[in-house]
Structure 1
Amino acid sequence: MGIRVYNSLSRKKEDFEPIHPPKVGMYVCGPTVYMESHIGHGVGPVIFDTVKRYLTFRGYDVTMVINVTDVDDKIIERARKLNTTVEDLVRRVEADYMQNIRKLGVVNVDHFPRATECIPQIIELVQKLIDRGHAYEAGGDVYFDVSSFPTYGKLSGRSVEEMEAGARIAPREHKRHPADFALWKASKAGEPAWDSPWGKGRPGWHIECSAMSMHYIGEELDIHGGGLDLIFPHHENEVAQSEAATGKPFVKYWMHNGLMQLAGDKMSKSKGNLVTITELLSEHSAELIRFLLLSTHYRRPIDFGPERIAEVNRGLQAFYRFFERFERVTGEAVYDVTAKLIGEEKVADDAPGVEVLKEAQRMRDEFIRAMDDDFNTAAAVASLFESLPAVNRFMDERGLDQGARASEAEREALQGFMATLRALGALLGIFEKPAVEPEALDELTTARLREIAAALIEKAGASTSGQELVERLIERRAAARKQKDFKTADEIREKLHGAGILLEDRAGGTTWSRST
């Protein structure tokens, strides 16, 4: 039996059959880079990085694209608030995002296109929609005419009438219908702008993703991923404008991941309960956070908070204890064992270490069965957990960790199990290398950083970590340098140095480290 995928468009699981096998084109909506990356920004990249790992294992040739929205109303507004330029803001925030998702093991993305690098493709797509009668220019803006696309609403299940009932036309807008959405926006003075047939302006959010996905993958995508909160209006609008422009189905399989929630409540900026990835990684290993995100099926909400992290960490520690025991018994370092799946050939009942070898095969089969069923990483993780007791029992019964020396056959059986465990773990992006525990800033240093931040930025909340305070001060210093306020910039550097934090200015931004 092959892979089955839940398709948000059909609202059911379907056999996975790519458009042009073995090629698979996968596009995932990335961040709008106006604020530091929070844990929600890490969910999609980790999930779809895992999807690509598994599809590659199953023999597919996957091209994965995650976009970066680097021109948007939110970006312009925040740049003004920080008294910096849009370019400076987006590059710093983008660097933060890239650094953090790499730490989380997201290393399989083929392209990270920026919206501003695809302006010609966006303009071409907008013009095509106008030419086909699906869009119209009004006052320097260009809108998509939803009435021209009869199946508008098929992804979200909403009717145009329902959408228009909750929509309104702002004073400066020239829409024909309340549900029409902007493809191109005339820019105001001081805003980023590009020449176009409709005057100077910038792209709307929705058209960016259609243009970028078509440019890097093609007019038809096998998989389009993103959070549940993007189904409407973003993905609904992508469907409409893309299919109106090409006359082809835009996406074969829509995959939407559940959102982060804290104590059952959605995490969001408006609720003030977001945690940055930087802050999180100052307190926990990247492997633990990835393990947390994959311990829930991707379509379900992901519970987050100290209690859930502690619960997941207990499970992860069970593997680490097993790794230590393996090393004591076999004399071989876990990460020196080459990751390799055990073969499918039948293990003889009288073979040395038969229990361990059969357990490795059972674990492999259960893992693959789970991942074939809509990439069920939670069940895949469970299959790894469930194998530990049997192998621990094997060692207990032979006293292998209590003075008895393992035979060559027993060591080989344990090595075969570990090779399979590591190979399966690699498909999830875990157990690839020793986990690095963060070195959190001590309480005294954090207290000094709070004083510095209170004097130069704003009073920080009691839960704000020392690492987060450093990042905020670096951001404030960058804004000061942009304004040629070198006195403030130097003051921040000196005060951080006094607190034991060294700054290093590089081409890609400012990094920091503890002084020794």
Structure 2
Amino acid sequence: MGWFGRCWHCFAPIVLPFILPSRAAPGVSGESGSARSACVPTIRFFPRVTPLCPPTTVTKPASQLRVYNTLTKTKQPFEPIAPPAVGIYLCGPTVYAESHIGHMVGPVIFDTVKRYLRYSGYQPTWVVNITDVDDKLINKSKERELPVSQIATEMTADYLANLRELGVNQIDYMPRATDHMPQIISFIERLIEKDHAYEVDGDVFFDVVKDPNYGQLSNRSVDDQQGEGGEAAAKKRSAGDFALWKSAKPGEISWDSPWGRGRPGWHIECSAMSHEILGTTFDIHGGGLDLMFPHHENELAQSGCCHGAPMVKYWMHNGLMRSEGKGKLGGKGDREESAEDAAAGKISRSKGDGGLSALIRRHTGTRIRFFLLRTHYRSTILYSEEGLEEAGSALDGFYRLFDRFKEISGISFYGDGDLKPARTRAGGEFDPGKDALLGQVHQLREKFITAMDDDFNTGAAISVLFDGVRLLNRFIDEKSLAAGADASSPEVVSLIAAMRSMKELTNVLGLFDKPPVAGGGDEVAQELLDKTIHLLIDLRKEARERKDYATGDAIRNRLSELGVSLLDKKEGTSWELTS
């Protein structure tokens, strides 16, 4: 049965029979001037956590990993502060609108970074923040005439749904700014006490002139930092000073503070949350190249001045995604483009590029993840439909091998299943001298590790996987293995062991956890599915117009149970897959 046929069996009970009413989900709570209690299902948020502590026994995993450090502009041996523990912080989204494909670049990269660190014997803790109070959110709140908290909750749900589709499931902590007001306020108070910040009429600014190291990350001077303009500019001692706390304006969300009601600036949120969870100095801070200045520069300055210690040991910046072929693509990623050049051509929501829900429906999350990982993380990614189609064609080669393997062995490659791959690079069971095929696979595994040890070179690692596909297909052909083969034969036993090793490596990249679903290549099925769901959307609209809210809620709830989320907007209702 085809993919649409399977989906139709799910949707038919709602389309054909009369829809039975069911109880609606609880509504989103209104605006509040304190930390919100509402959170998005399927992921835990951590308003208060214990900072990451060094392990009692310090042991360094056997690793030759080298990481490019933006701070030093060199590749350096990776030597964590308190091995095997590794603290990682990635700047997350400002949740004021739906996410696009550009928002997925960092999460996919650092999801893979964490997977490889764990594979290498480390114990990484990965934090991705949610900025749920910001000028953009406030402006969107006014535009949509909805509370900031409601918009943030909706858009966080959208972001998380897209992360799940792309296999990003390694995040340990996802703190929200609104849950950390006490820590943010305490951080600002300490900066004032140390004479690195000052208050003027309810606004608090960081004094960049007082930090002699300002600009060390981006090689920018104090004069390059313009800070806030408008009314705030008149209050500042220097044009480069930036806001730590903004006094409340009428009708805006705000919190009590020693300086009156207001809200935090963007930069201080990340410093406070990373310190709360990972401690004063942690190992890796990641983010897009466009965040290096001023955001990361300001984080580095305020954290260092507050605690008198370096904030981060390794700064990792990923290249951005472009919709036009400007700048270097692919390669080893040894070239760094300027932040201005990167920002000029990056994927942006305003240009309408890379609508993520539509992309996932056309291409699947696995294809998009594969597309992103084929380029070294520090290089620019050229976005195009053709590139995604090429990624799909490349994946087809893997899928054909996995299908052949299942026909021969009866074992599915997807999930862990009966393959049970090793969880760490030390866990593989190889005896190269005993089996010719496993000897060749062992060599491929070593090449894969060498690639990843070279600043997480996923592009080179994927090339090794292609070599593995060719090797295993050749083995199957030479041994004439086919459906019905003797599972106890030496050839099949060797093939299973080799595929177990392949699974070990694909797990590191977060690929092939699930079997392929239609996308891109099954356009007719996609079109039928889209028409079916829009039929239900129209039925729901008609029910609501005649004030039959029970039926309208039933349609939404039943679709939600099937993994389809409806997004109501002024211009109409759209849908996306959430599971």
Confirm or deny: 8 A CA contact 2:246 2:263 kept in the other structure: yes
Name whichever of 271-280 and 127-136 sits farther off.
271-280
User: What secondary structure sits across from 1:386 in the alignment?
Assistant: helix
Confirm or deny: 8 A CA contact 1:169 1:175 kept in the other structure: no
Per-residue deviation at 1:402? 9.1
Amino acid in structure 1 at the alignment position of 2:321: M
User: What secondary structure sits across from 1:63 in the alignment?
Assistant: strand
Per-residue deviation at 1:200? 0.5
- Give the match for residue 565 of structure 2: 511
1:283 equivalenced with 2:362 (yes/no)? yes
1:491 equivalenced with 2:545 (yes/no)? yes
Listed one character per residue, the Cα deviations across residues 185-243 of structure 1 (whole Å, up to 9, x for unaligned) are 00101101101111100000000000000001101110001111100000000000000
- Give the match for residue 347 of structure 1: 432
- Give the match for residue 186 of structure 1: 247
Confirm or deny: 8 A CA contact 1:493 1:503 kept in the other structure: no
Q: Return closer, same or farther for 1:444/1:286 CA change in 2, 3 Å cut-off.
A: closer
Q: 264, 268, 293: which one pairs with 1:207?
A: 268
Amino acid in structure 2 at the alignment position of 1:215: E
Distance 1:405 1:112 in 2: 49
Per-residue deviation at 1:434? 1.5
- Give the match for residue 338 of structure 2: none
Confirm or deny: 8 A CA contact 1:2 1:372 kept in the other structure: yes
User: What secondary structure sits across from 1:502 in the alignment?
Assistant: helix
Gaps (5+ residues) in structure 2? 1-62, 327-344, 567-574
Distance 2:274 2:87 in 1: 9
Q: Return closer, same or farther for 1:404/1:423 CA change in 2, 3 Å cut-off.
A: closer
Confirm or deny: 8 A CA contact 2:430 2:439 kept in the other structure: no
Confirm or deny: 8 A CA contact 2:518 2:526 kept in the other structure: no
Q: Return closer, same or farther for 1:446/1:426 CA change in 2, 3 Å cut-off.
A: closer
Confirm or deny: 8 A CA contact 1:66 1:109 kept in the other structure: yes
1:171 equivalenced with 2:171 (yes/no)? no
1:37-52 superposed matches below 5 A: 37-52=99-114
- Give the match for residue 73 of structure 1: 135
Q: Return closer, same or farther for 1:239/1:54 CA change in 2, 3 Å cut-off.
A: same
- Give the match for residue 463 of structure 2: 382
Per-residue deviation at 1:387? 1.6
Matched residues, number = 473
- Give the match for residue 429 of structure 1: 510
Amino acid in structure 1 at the alignment position of 2:397: A
Distance 2:430 2:300 in 1: 46
User: What secondary structure sits across from 2:215 in the alignment?
Assistant: coil
Q: 307, 310, 320: which one pairs with 1:249?
A: 310
- Tell me the TM-score normalised to structure 1 length: 0.84
1:293 equivalenced with 2:372 (yes/no)? yes
Name whichever of 428-437 and 85-94 sits farther off.
428-437
1:7-156 superposed matches below 5 A: 7-156=69-218
Distance 1:92 1:408 in 2: 55
Listed one character per residue, the Cα deviations across residues 135-170 of structure 1 (whole Å, up to 9, x for unaligned) are 011121100000000110010111123445xx7742
Confirm or deny: 8 A CA contact 2:94 2:131 kept in the other structure: yes
Confirm or deny: 8 A CA contact 2:96 2:155 kept in the other structure: yes
Listed one character per residue, the Cα deviations across residues 351-376 of structure 1 (whole Å, up to 9, x for unaligned) are 5xx34212210121111111111111
- Tell me the TM-score normalised to structure 2 length: 0.76
Per-residue deviation at 1:332? 2.9
User: What secondary structure sits across from 2:441 in the alignment?
Assistant: helix
Listed one character per residue, the Cα deviations across residues 278-308 of structure 1 (whole Å, up to 9, x for unaligned) are 2221112211111111111111112222110
1:218-233 superposed matches below 5 A: 218-233=279-294
1:306-325 superposed matches below 5 A: 306-325=385-404
- Give the match for residue 463 of structure 1: none
RMSD over aligned Cα atoms: 3.1
Confirm or deny: 8 A CA contact 1:45 1:106 kept in the other structure: yes
Confirm or deny: 8 A CA contact 1:337 1:415 kept in the other structure: no
Confirm or deny: 8 A CA contact 1:337 1:418 kept in the other structure: no
Confirm or deny: 8 A CA contact 1:132 1:245 kept in the other structure: yes
Distance 1:4 1:401 in 2: 43
Gaps (5+ residues) in structure 1? 450-465, 478-486
Distance 1:510 1:202 in 2: 35
Q: Return closer, same or farther for 1:325/1:447 CA change in 2, 3 Å cut-off.
A: closer
Amino acid in structure 2 at the alignment position of 1:421: M
Amino acid in structure 2 at the alignment position of 1:12: T
